[in-house]
Amino acid sequence: MRQPLVAVSTDVKEFENYTWHAAPEQYLEAALSVAGVTPLLLPSFGERIDLDGLLASVDGVLLTGAKSNVYPPLYGGLADESSGPYDQRRDGTTIPLIRKAIQQGVPLLAICRGIQELNVALGGTLANEIQERAGMLDHRGHGETQQERFAIRQKVEIKPGSCLADIVGGGEIAVNSVHRQGIERLGPNLQVEALAPDGTIEAVSVVGSAAFAVGVQWHPEFWAASDAPSRRIFEAFGNAVRAHEEVRRRPLAAE
């Protein structure tokens, strides 16, 4: 069975005397095995990439998490060492990609750093080191192993009647949490889908989007094979991608 292509964001890394454009395997595995799509790594070359041509050739966009934070000047903030590290080459690729994907109705799933990119792309702002604010939970992952860091240990409340409620059900679900940065001012045309007990925005969707366009602050990719809510998010994304592919290919079939 043919699998539709999904463009996946990449981080720019320097090691072993090479510059690498890479994405963690757990996102690729969840896309392939749970969403049922073929992940295609998009190098972070910014405006050198023909994004219109890309979006005409793929049927979805997956934005991954990363250790880097979105560059603060992109949302009116100041860049300093405490809010880094940064990956401006990724920012220069994902921000315009998000805008074009939404404009063109290409399904979009934005995870962790991805939800922050989504918010900035649509005019919102971010808060750094949110765990240092009074009354806030420590949303950073803890533990020595990845299984410990990404353990499902935090509750979030899904907004009734939201897009996410249709996917995972309304009310409270348990998720993981591995981030220092969060949404401060919500971007126009975004609506809140889920909140943490301390008020942190944990999920958003694009109001009036022609296709699936959801961002989550947690990491459903890590447990997509075994955790029901995580699996349903990737399944919903995969269904949206296949629906987009079917519509896109109709003119070709008619020729």
Average pLDDT over residues 61-88: 92
Using the predicted structure, report yes or no on whether residue 10 has a pLDDT greater than 80: yes
Which helix (H) or strand (E) covers residue 117, if one does? Answer: helix 113-121
Query: Which residues share a beta bridge with 61?
Result: 7, 108
Alpha carbons within 13 A on the beta-carbon side of 242: 14
Instruction: Give mean pLDDT, residues 153-179.
Output: 93
Residue 250 clears pLDDT 90, i.e. is over it: no
What is the arithmetic mean of pLDDT over 165-191?
92
Structural domain that includes position 173: 5-254
- Which structure tokens are listed for 200? 């942190």
pLDDT at 170: 87
Strand bridging mode 108-111 / 126-127: unpaired
In this prediction, residue 138 carries a pLDDT of: 67
pLDDT, one tens digit per residue, over 25-56 is 999 999 999 999 999 999 999 999 999 999 99
Q: In the prediction, which pLDDT does 1 show?
A: 67
* Count of domains observed in the chain: 1
The type of residue at 58 is V
pLDDT at 235 over 70: yes
pTM of the predicted structure, to 2 decimals = 0.94
Cβ–Cβ under 8 Å, residues 235 and 34: yes
Catalytic residue numbers, as ranges: 112, 219, 221
Report angle CA 79, 21, 131 to the nearest 5 degrees: 40
The CATH number that applies at residue 14 is: 3.40.50.880
Helix (H, G, I), strand (E, B) or coil at 156: strand
